[in-house]
A = this chain, B = another copy of it.
């Protein structure tokens, strides 16, 4: 007998709740797999970016991963300590940081090729189901990046 607005506050109905649980749960599935490679999940995403192109600047990686530079700084430091990459200043632009894969970092890609298949099998999802979920997430991300409706303007 509660009003619709009150029903909207049920925990089990919150998209944000389902989303954060799904995110943590899926990352949790990766954990034992990535542990064998000595990587955390955020570190794995950085390595994926570098396996596509190296060297890259921190800013470039930050844009690719949609992460704050302040978040990536310590992650890159740990990956450097693990011997997977080097951090030097870009010649000709001393502001930018040149993040470069080491031989060990590049070689780790071999082991990584097995990861997506392992996860898909662990989740019991087909390639198509994964693609559908990916598309749904991409659409949701796009929704967050659209400008807010005018009559719901930001404070200030």
Contacts and interface: CB of A to CB of B under 8 A. Distances in A.
A149 B121 contact: yes
**Copy count, this protein chain:** 2
A14 interface: yes
B134 A15 contact: yes
- Lowest 9 A-B CB distances belong to which pairs? A18-B137, A23-B23, A25-B144, A8-B116, A22-B137, A123-B143, A5-B113, A11-B48, A22-B140
Contact of A133 (B30, B112, B140, B154): B140
Contact of A8 (B9, B24, B117, B152): B117
Given A26-B144, A45-B11, A137-B22, A119 B6 contact: no
A9 to B, nearest CB: 6
A91 interface: no
A89 to B, nearest CB: 25
Contacts of A17: 45, 48, 65
Given A123-B144, A133-B136, 8 more contacts: A5-B116, A9-B48, A9-B116, A15-B137, A21-B137, A22-B137, A22-B144, A123-B140
Interface of A: 5-6, 8-11, 13-30, 32, 41, 45, 48-49, 51-52, 64-66, 109, 112-119, 121-125, 130, 132-134, 136-138, 140-141, 143-146, 148-149, 152, 154-155
Q: Binding site of A, secondary structure by majority: helix, strand, loop or mixed? A: helix
A14 B28 CA distance: 15
